[in-house]
Amino acid sequence: MREPVIAYVGIGANLGDAVATVRGAIERLGSLPQSHVMKASSLYRTAPHDAQGPDFVNAVAQLQTGLEADELLAHLQEIEQEAGRERPYRNAPRTLDLDLLLYAADRIDGAKLTVPHPRMRERAFVLVPLSEIAPQEVTAAQLAAVSGQRIEALPPA
């Protein structure tokens, strides 16, 4: 078992009751073995980015986990499957999307997993909620670079 590390997970949904799905995913992340949610961002409504379909509901969760990165990825994919995730084509609308954004300070470049997430710095729906819970992980220049992308915080439940 590895020493616990901090990992950040991007959460998004744009099919069905996306708000409930994202909230449920945050709860489910907290039930993973050797893991607990330390922080979760507000929920945000965003336009699809390089995708089609209705607006997305997005958030980012900070986990403390003793799982290895590949084990965590397997659990994230299992949660997606439980939520009915299908992958008919790249960037298809989805019931739930979970992305491992950061895993400690590790750099991973594997066939199934790349960390830091390769496109996270191009996406307001990742950077804005990430900056809310981990401002040290996002620079002002990175936020400025995505400022043209539509994103709005949803009111708390």
Residues pairing with 60 in the sheet? 10
Determine whether 2 is an active site residue.
no
Q: Which tokens in the block code for residue 137? A: 């992980």
Residue extents of the structural domains in the chain:
5-153
Q: Is 90 a catalytic residue?
A: no
Topology adopted by domain 5-153: Alpha-Beta Plaits (3.30.70)
Would you state the structure tokens that stand for residue 156, as one six-digit string? 């708390």
Q: Is 100 exposed, middle or buried (CB count within 10 Å of its CB: 0-12, 13-18, 19+)?
A: buried
Please state the pTM of the whole predicted model: 0.92
Which of the residues 23, 28, 45, 99 is marked catalytic?
99
Reading the chain (157 residues) residue by residue, the pLDDT tens digits are 679 999 999 999 988 899 999 999 999 999 999 999 999 999 999 988 776 678 999 999 999 999 999 999 999 999 998 887 665 555 555 789 999 999 999 899 988 888 998 889 999 999 999 999 999 999 999 999 999 999 999 998 7
- pLDDT tens digits along 32-65: 999 999 999 999 999 887 766 789 999 999 999 9
* 99 is known as an active-site residue: yes
Catalytic residue among 23, 28, 45, 85: 85
Q: 55, 73, 54: which is closest to 124 by C-alpha?
A: 55
Q: Which of 90, 94, 106, 119 is the catalytic position?
A: 94
Give the amino acid at 22: V
Helix (H) / strand (E) containing 35? strand 35-40
| Burial class for 43, CB neighbours closer than 10 Å (0-12, 13-18, 19+) | buried
- Residue 97 is among the residues annotated as catalytic for this protein: yes
Catalytic residue among 97, 106, 109, 121: 97
d(CA 93, CA 96): 9
Cβ atoms 96, 21 nearer than 8 A: yes
* Partners of 115 in the β-ladder: 108
Alpha-carbon separation of residue 144 from 42, 93, 133, 139, 151 (angstroms): 20, 27, 18, 9, 13
Tokens for 126?
Answer: 């990742």
